[in-house]
Amino acid sequence: MADFTFAHREEGFDEHIDKSIRGYQDLLSDVVSLSRYFVESHTNVYDIGCSTGKLTEALIRKNSDIEDINYYGIEVADGFVSDMEIRGKGLNLEFPKSKTSFMHEDIRSSSISNASLVTSIFTLQFMPIKDRSTIIKKIYDGLNEGGAFIFAEKTICENAKFQEMITFNFYDYKRKYFTTEDIMDKEQVLRNIMKPNTWKQIEQYMYDAGFKDVQPFWRNHMFVGAVAVK
């Protein structure tokens, strides 16, 4: 199975992402808040690319009054296995009226069904481009009518000048927390594993899968959070 280098950061993965993406906590807060419009009893909730399970847990806590839900956290990277095991045991003890399962597997071979909500936060950008439309179609088909796909992705600009401006503005922000060498070393590693789309391309993926409307609700630098409803 694949591993994810930044799972092993000294400061911890969640702390690293929080410092890397301006407004990351606001994004997670919005995702959790929006979940209240969609999570229903007797359905499944999937968190694709759940990493440490932090968002999965927040969704469970926010919707703890809604019983008989199966929560599935799906993560392919080896570095998060122990985090998922520990979090899963604790959540099943604390919230016995719903079931939480963290699965160390590739979403390309996972099944999605009877879903009231699917979340994916900065995950599709790490998947092979050739598989993205198939995965989004799988999500759409697995959602119940009225269910939602809430996601966030890093994007690239269609205009080269805008790309330069936003990229260096982003680097200026990251230099508050990381050295220039650290920023550039990470960029070099990401060249081979992260391939962002433009926002128009992401929208087209959604429309091709069957979603009629896609609404962005959060933006910061080149990062976008959006919701699509079936």
pLDDT at residue 1 in the model: 38
pLDDT at residue 11 in the model: 52
Per the document, the length of the chain is: 230
In degrees, rounded to 5, the angle at the alpha carbon of residue 20 between the alpha carbons of residues 226 and 150 is 15
pLDDT, tens digit, for every residue of 36-79?
A: 999 999 999 999 999 999 999 999 999 999 999 999 999 998 88
- Residue 34, φ and ψ in degrees, nearest 5: -65, -25
Contact 69, 38 (CB under 8 A): no
Q: Which residue has the tokens 């399970």?
A: 53
Q: What is the DSSP string of 65-112?
A: TS-S-EEEEEE--GGGHHHHHHHHHHHHHH-TTSEEEEEES-GGG---
pLDDT at residue 18 in the model: 84
Angstrom distance (rounded) from CA 138 to CA 136: 5
Q: What is the DSSP string of 115-148?
A: EEEEEEES-GGGS-HHHHHHHHHHHHHHEEEEEE
pLDDT mean for each 10 residues of the chain (230 residues): 50 77 96 98 97 95 96 93 94 95 95 98 94 97 98 96 95 91 85 91 97 96 97
- Burial of 191: CB neighbours in 10 Å, binned 0-12, 13-18, 19+: exposed
pLDDT at residue 27 in the model: 97
pLDDT, tens digit, for every residue of 211-230?
A: 999 999 999 999 999 999 99
Contact 230, 211 (CB under 8 A): yes
Angstrom distance (rounded) from CA 117 to CA 72: 11
- Determine the residue type at 116: S
Angstrom distance (rounded) from CA 45 to CA 64: 13
Q: Determine the number of helices (DSSP H) and then strands (DSSP E) in the chain.
A: 8, 7
- Predicted TM-score (pTM) of this structure: 0.92
